[in-house]
Amino acid sequence: MENLVHIGNWCSPFNYTILWALELNSIKYTQIQEGITNKSSLLFQEHDQNHRNQVYMIHNGKVVHESLIILEYLEEKWPHLNPLLPKYSYERAMARFWANFAHHKLFFIFN
């Protein structure tokens, strides 16, 4: 049985991109909301306690950081579910470009 825990800050748009992807694909997970100053004890148990990222996922005991990387991880781990990226290479590249653009522009607003 797989164990998937999503940990994120309720006010982070990056948090919601992961939640939407999980819900879109009906992937079972446990949600833990945390604040900027109160990191989850799950992260402190085995991983870098000083990591500034506010969105991360623990899958079968392994931590995946950064919302865009988590989205790619979900797409690769469960390829048979609703695709998060277009089928063709060029369209995939454009989707990644715009996701990266939005991610870095929003970073300055929410950091």
Encode pLDDT of 28-64 as tens digits: 999 988 766 666 665 555 455 545 556 789 999 888 9
98 pLDDT tier (thresholds 50, 70, 90): confident
The answer on pLDDT for 101 being more than 50 is yes
Nearest to 52 by CA among 71, 37, 30: 37
Q: Which residues contact 97 (CB under 8 A, 6 or more apart)?
A: none
Between the CA of residue 79 and those of 25, 76, 95, what are the distances in Å?
10, 5, 17
The span from the CA of 28 to the CA of 46, in Å, is 23
Domain boundaries, the chain: 4-84
H/E element, 33: strand 30-33
Q: What confidence score (pLDDT) does residue 46 get?
A: 47
Q: Which CATH number fits domain 4-84: 1.20.120.160, 3.40.30.10, 3.60.15.10, 3.30.70.1350?
A: 3.40.30.10
